């Protein structure tokens, strides 16, 4: 069992139940799933770049990503409808908690000039989004394999009804929010 899931079951559930006064265990917020998206700006011209992003996401998440396609043509970006322009992964269960362990304990401290996560990135329904500019913060990625760094968008979906509950859940799991 991952450290985050073990911590959640033993300590965080009790802490949240006492803090928010839940009557039922099913009311306690938990992380439902994690979505990871990566767009490829150069991918419209070079399909090899999209293959690099797919391979990088596969290494980072341990799960095969799905290629995403453009919904409509945009002449200014030289994108045509149905052109493959990115990749996405949805993590649930054990892989989700393993990814969150690595994100909080290993990857985020490796970000240059890291001062903490923004608290304003909650969407009003208890979900949190963060962006990572360089995939190289994950130690499992070999530097020589990927010629260009790519960025990631990470969305964490929780069952919390308010942003306050979700922030308390994530901060108890070790997410380093700005004070």
DSSP notation for 75-137: GGGTB-TT-EEEEEEEE-HHHHHHHHHHIIIIIGGGSTT---B-GGGB-SSS-EEEEES-GGG
Q: Which residues contact 94 (CB under 8 A, 6 or more apart)?
A: 2, 5
Residue 79, pLDDT above cutoff 80: no
Residue 85, pLDDT above cutoff 70: yes
Residue 154, pLDDT above cutoff 70: yes
How far apart, in whole angstroms, are the C-alpha atoms of residue 99 and residue 79? 32
Q: Cα Rg for the chain, rounded, in angstroms?
A: 18
Mean pLDDT, range 134-140, rounded to an integer: 83
Q: Which CATH superfamily is domain 3-172 in?
A: Ribosomal protein L5 (3.30.1440.10)
- 8 Å CB contact between 19 and 155: no
Which residue from 150, 130, 139 is spatially nearest to 38, judged by alpha carbons?
150
The pLDDT, as a whole number, for residue 1 is 62
The pTM score is 0.86
């Amino acid at each position: 069992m991952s450290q985050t899931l073990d911590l959640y079951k033993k300590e965080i559930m009790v802490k949240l139940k006492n803090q928010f006064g839940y009557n039922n265990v099913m009311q306690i917020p938990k992380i439902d799933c994690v979505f990871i998206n990566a767009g490829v700006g150069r991918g419209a011209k070079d399909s090899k770049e999209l293959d690099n992003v797919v391979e990088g996401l596969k290494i980072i998440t341990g799960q095969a990503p799905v290629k995403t396609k453009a919904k409509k043509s945009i002449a200014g970006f030289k994108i045509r409808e149905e052109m493959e322009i990115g990749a996405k992964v949805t993590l649930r269960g054990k892989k989700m908690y393993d990814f969150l362990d690595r994100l909080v304990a290993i990857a985020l401290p490796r970000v240059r000039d890291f001062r903490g996560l923004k608290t304003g990135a909650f969407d009003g329904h208890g979900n949190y989004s963060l962006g990572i500019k360089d995939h190289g913060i994950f130690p499992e990625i070999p530097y020589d394999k990927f010629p260009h760094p790519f960025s990631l968008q990470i969305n964490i979906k929780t069952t919390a009804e308010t942003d306050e509950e979700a922030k308390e859940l994530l901060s108890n799991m070790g997410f380093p929010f700005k004070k």
